[in-house]
Amino acid sequence: MIEGITKEKIGRVAAMIREAKHVVVFTGAGVSTESGIPDFRSPGGLWTKFDPEDFTIDKFLSNPETRRKQWRFLLSSDLLKDADPNAAHKAIAELEALGRLDCVITQNIDNLHRKAGNHSNKVYELHGNMHWIRCLKCSNRYPLEEILRESGVSSEVPSCRHCGGILKPDVIFFGESLPEETLQDATRHANRCDLMIVVGSSLAVYPAAYLPFYAKQSGARLVIINLTPTPADRTADVVIHAAAGEVMGQILAEVKARLSECV
Ligand code: CNA
């Protein structure tokens, strides 16, 4: 249930969206927990079940046992389940449809912003996309579904059907650089926007977590919607510690109400 003080903040955020010319939404794993995908750092999150040390690129490349572990992680982590976008994803997609959103910058690898209806060229996936698998030798890229269909869910780690090379989920592992062009585009949007809304991120993973600070330094207003405090709360103009789905749904409703008043 949204309380009075949160309602007042929701009204302020809706007014900011209406006033802004360049709105950017920046999301993390918390925007997808209401779709049933666990985040990393919440109680019961993925790092309570798996060791982040196993997800370094060095280990992946050098150790076949680590590759097996990671493949098992993939199959058992719920990251691959056929999740549906929740109210927060849908509200963000609708902001785009209303012409109120420049882009979504996401750390998520679950494809849910596109599935909710954000256009592909408006979604910047800083950490890649779990639904693709890439061969490290010939760079062929395969839909994950295809690989799972061919290799079965209980099999050994599959290899590239074209060249026999090592297949790796097309996501960024610890120790890997972010995709350069995507990071550049996202940074440009962060520096240019006049409103950035952060939804469901602990803002603990860099360099992605710099982007809200870049936005603020460039003069944008900053809104944080997260269940728990973040390092950017003190810098933000509005901070709402509540569930993303309900808050984003209500922000969207307010934005629509204000837009219809202006017609
Ligand atoms: P994180 O560090 O796990 O933080 C998630 C944050 O979201 C926490 O601060 C929670 O309090 C907050 N949160 C959880 N549920 C909600 C909710 N319903 N409403 C509002 N806030 C909520 O995740 P970050 O995204 O900050 O860290 C970046 C990592 C997580 C990236 O490398 C991602 O690839 C990675 N990740 C992505 C997914 C996904 O794609 N769905 C899932 C798990 C991890």
Average pLDDT, integer, range 235-256: 97
b/e map of 27-60 (b: 16 or more CB within 10 Å)? bbbbbbbbbebbbbbbeebbeeebeeebbbeebb
Percent of the chain residues past pLDDT 90, beyond the cut: 67
Fold of 38-80+128-171: SIR2/SIRT2 'Small Domain' (3.30.1600)
Q: What is the per-residue pLDDT for 156?
A: 73
Q: What is the per-residue pLDDT for 108?
A: 96
Atom from ligand 1 closest to the CA of residue 110: 40
Stretch(es) of the chain classified as CATH 3.30.1600.10? 38-80+128-171
Q: Among candidates 247, 206, 161, 202, which has minimal Cα distance to 40? A: 202
Ligand 1 pocket, Cβ-based, cut-off 6 angstroms: 28-30, 32-34, 37, 39-42, 45-46, 107-110, 127, 200-202, 204-205, 226-228, 243-244
**Residue 124 pairs with which residues in a beta bridge?**
105
DSSP track, 119-187 = -GGGEEETTEEEEEEEETTT--EEEHHHHHHHH-TTSSPPB-TTT-PBEEEEEPPBTPPPPHHHHHHHH
Nearest residue by C-alpha to atom 34 in ligand 1 = 108
Q: Among candidates 128, 149, 110, 106, which has minimal Cα distance to 57? A: 128
Structure token digits, residue 135: 């061969």
**Predicted confidence (pLDDT) at residue 63 exceeds the cutoff of 90:** no
Stretch(es) of the chain classified as CATH 3.40.50.1220? 1-36+85-127+178-263
**Predicted confidence (pLDDT) at residue 78 exceeds the cutoff of 70:** no
Catalytic residue set? 127
**Distance from the alpha carbon of residue 159 to the mean position of ligand 1, in angstroms:** 30
pTM recorded for the entire structure: 0.93
pLDDT confidence bin for 98, thresholds 50/70/90: very high
**Distance from the alpha carbon of residue 58 to the mean position of ligand 1, in angstroms:** 24
CA distance 35 to 258: 28
Mean pLDDT, the chain, whole residue set:
90
**Predicted confidence (pLDDT) at residue 82 exceeds the cutoff of 90:** no
What superfamily does domain 1-36+85-127+178-263 belong to in CATH? TPP-binding domain (3.40.50.1220)
pLDDT confidence bin for 153, thresholds 50/70/90: low
Cβ neighbors of 142 (< 8 A, separation 6 or more) are 132, 133, 134, 135, 167
Residue of 10, 26, 40, 112 to mutate, ligand 1, most atoms within 8 A of C-beta:
40
The secondary structure element, H or E, covering residue 224 is strand 221-225
Say what the alpha-carbon torsion angle 11, 12, 13, 17 is, to the nearest 10 degrees.
100
pLDDT confidence bin for 196, thresholds 50/70/90: very high
**Distance from the alpha carbon of residue 46 to the mean position of ligand 1, in angstroms:** 10
Decide which of 32 and 66 is more confident: 32
